[in-house]
Amino acid sequence: MTRHFLEITDLTVDELDRVLALAVTPPKPVLAGRGVALLFEKPSARTRHSSEMAVVNLGGHPISVAAGEVDLDHRETAEDVARTFANFHAAIGARVFDHDVLRRMAAAIDDQGFTVPVINLLSDVAHPCQALADVLTLRETFGPDLVGRTLTYVGDANNVAKSLAFAGVALGMEIRIASPEGYQFGGGDLAAIAEYAVDAGRGGSIVQSDDVEALSTGVDALYTDAWTSMGQEAEAAQRRIDLARYSVTEELLALAEGAVVLHCLPAHRGEEISDGVLESASAKVWRQVFHRRTAMVGLLSFLAEVGSIR
Ligand code: CP
Ligand code: NVA
């Protein structure tokens, strides 16, 4: 059966290790003569370019598709778009508003007997390709063994936070979510992250609280992302009020002396992160951007290795 990649939990921890290892191995031409469709319902700088270049690195041909070109579920169904792409491409990446669209695309491909993985390039609930780049950056900073390392995510417990939490706990990290009420993980998400940590067996854990100072004190890494994600623009004013204290500033960073600061970008200086912190030597954001491409090389190489890309 085709292995799709909609969330980090689609991998066992050993498979996650393998993806990360392949990310830092010279690419093999596993996509020679093949295409990869990359569909974007929302804007992208890093994801489009890293994915396209990873496909090129693996000998393939990327075709990026903007939302209006296929107009999912208006011009035709997401299922029909997926099955059309599956006739021409070795893999399909998609950035969508509604995570369920990815599930429908994957199911439609499976139903028709295609062996073409669907890769989540960001949905409302997950951003697993970003999380792969994040843990590659953490490994580059702290060494390959992340067991016992602490990372505090500051702000809205969103799609980026969730995929990061899954990857972090799998690799044995203590992930701390510092978010105000209303912006925290729900019980179901927390339980799923804790269960994945147990399955991985590396002692990873998740905690959550609104006490951003307490959770940030003495940690190895601080991470933040936009207060308002794509698709939530109507809530931006309220979010600025509710999340005002949840910002990675010089004062917060002083509580975690020596910590590295991560951000998936795009950044909103003066909101979730200060300009000074983002421009400081503590910030490893450009290594994260670098690893978006290596992460995609690792993921596509893994999918070829397990026979989901043929
Ligand atoms: N971090 C990230 O996914 O960036 P883009 O939205 O620019 O792709
Ligand atoms: N949480 C953000 C991430 C952007 C890369 C969003 O979904 O818009």
- Domain match, 81 and 111 both: yes
CA atoms within 13 A on the CB side of 141: 26
Q: Which domain holds residue 83?
A: 8-126+292-305
Q: List the residue whose alpha carbon is closest to atom 1 of ligand 1.
A: 264
Q: What is the pLDDT of residue 195?
A: 98
We report the CATH number of the domain holding residue 56 as 3.40.50.1370
- Domain match, 166 and 36 both: no
Number of structural domains the chain divides into: 2
Q: List the residue whose alpha carbon is closest to atom 4 of ligand 1.
A: 46
Burial call 106-127: b when 16+ CB within 10 Å, e when fewer: bebbeeeebbbbbbbbbbbbbb
- Domain match, 113 and 166 both: no
Atom of ligand 2 nearest to the CA of 156: 1
- Domain match, 215 and 132 both: yes
> What whole-number percentage of the chain has pLDDT above 70?
100
Model confidence at 292, in pLDDT bands (50, 70, 90)?
Answer: very high
Atom of ligand 2 nearest to the CA of 47: 5
- Domain match, 50 and 77 both: yes
Which residues have C-beta atoms less than 6 Å from ligand 2?
122, 158-160, 225-226, 229-230, 264
- Please indicate, yes or no, if residue 69 is contained in any of the structural domains: yes
Q: How far is the CA of 180 from the centre of ligand 1 (A)?
A: 24
Dist. CA 156–CA 141, nearest whole Å: 25
- Domain match, 272 and 161 both: yes
pLDDT(141) > 90: yes
- Please indicate, yes or no, if residue 1 is contained in any of the structural domains: no
- Please indicate, yes or no, if residue 3 is contained in any of the structural domains: no
What average pLDDT does the structure give for the chain?
98
Q: List the residue whose alpha carbon is closest to atom 1 of ligand 2.
A: 229
- Domain match, 64 and 35 both: yes
Q: How far is the CA of 46 from the centre of ligand 1 (A)?
A: 5
Q: How far is the CA of 126 from the centre of ligand 1 (A)?
A: 12
Q: Which of 225, 235, 239, 265 to mutate to test the pocket of ligand 2 (most atoms within 8 A of CB)?
A: 225
Tens digits of per-residue pLDDT, 145-203? 999 999 999 999 999 999 999 999 999 999 999 999 999 999 999 999 999 999 999 99
- Domain match, 265 and 297 both: no
Which residues have C-beta atoms less than 6 Å from ligand 1?
44-47, 122, 130, 264-266
Q: What are the φ/ψ torsions at residue 141 (nearest 5 degrees)? A: -80, -45
- Please indicate, yes or no, if residue 253 is contained in any of the structural domains: yes
**Six token digits for residue 4:** 């799709």
pLDDT(92) > 90: yes
Q: What is the pLDDT of residue 253?
A: 98
**Six token digits for residue 83:** 């099955």
Which residue's structure tokens are 């599930």? 103
DSSP the chain: ----BSSGGGS-HHHHHHHHHHHTSPPP-TTTT-EEEEEESS--SHHHHHHHHHHHHTT-EEEEEEHHHH-BTTTB-HHHHHHHHHTT-SEEEEE-SSHHHHHHHHHHHHHTT----EEES--SS--HHHHHHHHHHHHHHH-S--TT-EEEEES---HHHHHHHHHHHHTT-EEEEE--TTSSPPHHHHHHHHHHHHHHTS--EEEEES-HHHHHTT-SEEEE--SS-TT-GGGHHHHHHHTTT--B-HHHHHTTTT-EEEE-S---BTTTB-HHHHTSTTB-HHHHHHHHHHHHHHHHHHHHHTTS--
Model confidence at 1, in pLDDT bands (50, 70, 90)?
Answer: confident
Which residue's structure tokens are 């994945």? 196
- Please indicate, yes or no, if residue 156 is contained in any of the structural domains: yes
- Domain match, 102 and 142 both: no
- Domain match, 93 and 150 both: no
Nearest to 109 by CA among 131, 69, 77, 71: 77
- Please indicate, yes or no, if residue 213 is contained in any of the structural domains: yes
- Domain match, 265 and 281 both: yes
pTM, two decimal places? 0.98
pLDDT(124) > 90: yes
Dist. CA 258–CA 240, nearest whole Å: 28
Tens digits of per-residue pLDDT, 41-53? 999 999 999 999 9
Task: Tell me the one-letter amino acid at 275.
Answer: D
Q: List the residue whose alpha carbon is closest to atom 6 of ligand 1.
A: 44
Model confidence at 137, in pLDDT bands (50, 70, 90)?
Answer: very high
Q: What is the pLDDT of residue 43?
A: 98
Atom of ligand 1 nearest to the CA of 289: 1
pLDDT(207) > 90: yes
Mean pLDDT, range 103-121, rounded to an integer: 98
Mean pLDDT, range 31-44, rounded to an integer: 98
- Domain match, 95 and 161 both: no
Model confidence at 117, in pLDDT bands (50, 70, 90)?
Answer: very high
